Amino acid sequence: MTIYQTIKDIPVSGKRVIVRVDYNVPFDKITGNISDDSRMQLTLPSLRYLINQNAKIILISHRGRPSGKSESLSLKPIGDHLSSLLGISVEVLEDCIGDEVIKKTQSMDPGEILLLENLRFYKQEEDNNQAFAVSLSQLGDYYVNEAFSVSHRAHASTESLPQLIPAVAGFLLEKEIFELGRILKSPSKPLSIVMGGAKVSDKMNLMKKLVPLSENILVGGGMAAAFLSASGHNIGISMIESNGKILATEIIAIAKSNQTNLLVPEDVVISNNAGNAESFRTTEANSIPEDQMIVDIGPKTISNFSKVLKTSNTILWNGPMGIFEIHEFSNGTKKISQTIVEQANKGGIILLGGGSTAEAAKKFDILDKVTHVSTGGGASLQFLEGKDMPGITHLMINSR
């Protein structure tokens, strides 16, 4: 496993350190306040280290997908919240490049923090424009990537900028690389992969990669419909991609050839409407009526999955088991999360990936009870698939 240099490997005292964070956090539509600041919380150890080392800290981030400058997607409220988290003032500048920004960074005091305005106010950020990256590079002496969740994107601040000034990993990025990397390199066996969510195509390459490495693959959530269809079962009005059955058939064949135990639901919770919590029942997976859809896994499946997970030393969970946002359809996800925590308490290595998985983990209060919850959705998939990560490729490697 490649070992990258971190902020501990560079002399940051008195230096301007550009830290690429991902503060694209959700806001409550009613209150206008941040509804989940976990991505911000996870960067605090790196920021506090830099503060204690008397670095001059310049934070850069994006928020949303603006078309030009938009007050509604300003980072000002994020800067205010970060100030409260750190207990020190964080000034948010009105821009992220330009002479005024350069002057401001040059007059900083050690331990001071600036948050620059939304990178995506400039189209050049997502275009990976070299001139834009050069403008950003003029603001600092070092670059720190603390934004694993966007490290799969070849943007100016993630790919071009770290090629212009010395670039290292932050503590969060270091942990992401280590925890996800050991799934691929040296997982404690048995290894079980729990796959949920709706789209097989999004996770097809990952499943191809992991099936030969795993003892068990457990399939639930919307994805289960494709596998049940591939096994010859009627799936009613359950949503399935046009190529979902073909992809599932391929995964089943790969699992068989590698003697990997592939489990699909034996029973499921069904409803005639994904949002209708008033009409639902449990049925055998081979008896789904034409006018019903799968909304959760059933009790037999929960039991089957739990028995396998209780024998596993390493578990990777990506994707919920049902429509967990609706209480009546959340039991499968809740029960699996409880079993996973039991394994964590016994010393098991438990890794969670994907945005909806993290949301479920938060809902069922297991975020701090597992080994690691990845901050990246698409990034964690791409990393585990073994694909190049533009935001990681150009970081300095530790030669020790």
Q: How many alpha carbons fall within 13 Å on the CB side of residue 355?
A: 11
Q: How far apart are CA 361 and CA 367, in angstroms?
A: 5
Catalytic residues: 39, 199, 355, 378
Distance between alpha carbon 297 and the CA centroid of its chain, in Å? 24
Please state whether 247 falls in left (phi above 0), alpha (psi between -120 and 50) or beta.
Answer: alpha
Q: How far apart are CA 361 and CA 356, in angstroms?
A: 9
Q: How far apart are CA 14 and CA 201, in angstroms?
A: 48
Q: Which of 141, 172, 150 is nearest to 46 (CA)?
A: 172
In angstroms, the Cα distances linking 188 to 163, 180, 184 are 36, 13, 11
Q: In what order do the strands lie in the sheet with 142-145?
A: 90-92, 113-115, 56-60, 16-20, 142-145, 167-169
Q: How far apart are CA 322 and CA 334, in angstroms?
A: 10
Q: How far apart are CA 376 and CA 370, in angstroms?
A: 16
* 309: three-class secondary structure by DSSP: helix
Q: How far apart are CA 390 and CA 372, in angstroms?
A: 22
